[in-house]
Amino acid sequence: MTKKRDKINYIWALVRIGLGWTFLWAFLDKLLGLGFSTAKENAWLVGTSPTAGFLLHATKGPLVSVFKAMAGSAFVDWLFMIGLLLLGLSLILGIGVRIASYAGSLLLFLMWLAILPPEHNPLLDEHIIYILVLNGLAYVKAGRVWGLGIWWSKQKLVKKNPWME
């Protein structure tokens, strides 16, 4: 049973690191314009809003006016970019996985709301799948394998505030 449990924990750790890299990569690409999803001339560092393209052109459905109104807002841009950075780092390092899972779930849920209905399925898309995965990471305490989760959980601040684990 222990070997099977170890394998499961390693799989969750790989999923955590992979998803963390997904968030961190999105941050780096939008910040620097690495040419994958964001062209160099559309990088945040050259003054382009990292959220405006999605919010102005990809949103649809019943909440389209709400999301379009947020496009280009410096507050929304900073919140989004800091969120991507912290989510990526938290998941890769294995610290604050629980709070990162909740915050990431909120971000992904808002992105899902912005594109209702999803393009290929009336309800389910990658945003919802990622939410389920993030909640799985929090549930199994995935930061404790190949991460700093055990050390993090022993910190005084985290002991006083277990939601930060």
pLDDT tens, per residue, the chain with 165 residues = 578 888 999 999 999 999 999 999 999 999 999 999 999 999 999 999 999 999 999 999 999 999 999 999 999 999 999 999 999 999 999 999 999 999 999 999 999 999 999 888 988 999 999 999 999 999 999 999 999 999 999 999 999 999 898
d(CA 146, CA 94): 8
Residue 69 lies in domain:
2-164
Based on the structure, what is the number of domains in the chain?
1
Cα first-last separation, the chain: 26
d(CA 9, CA 3): 10
Nearest Cα to 162, choosing from 89, 102, 88? 102
**Stated length of the chain:** 165
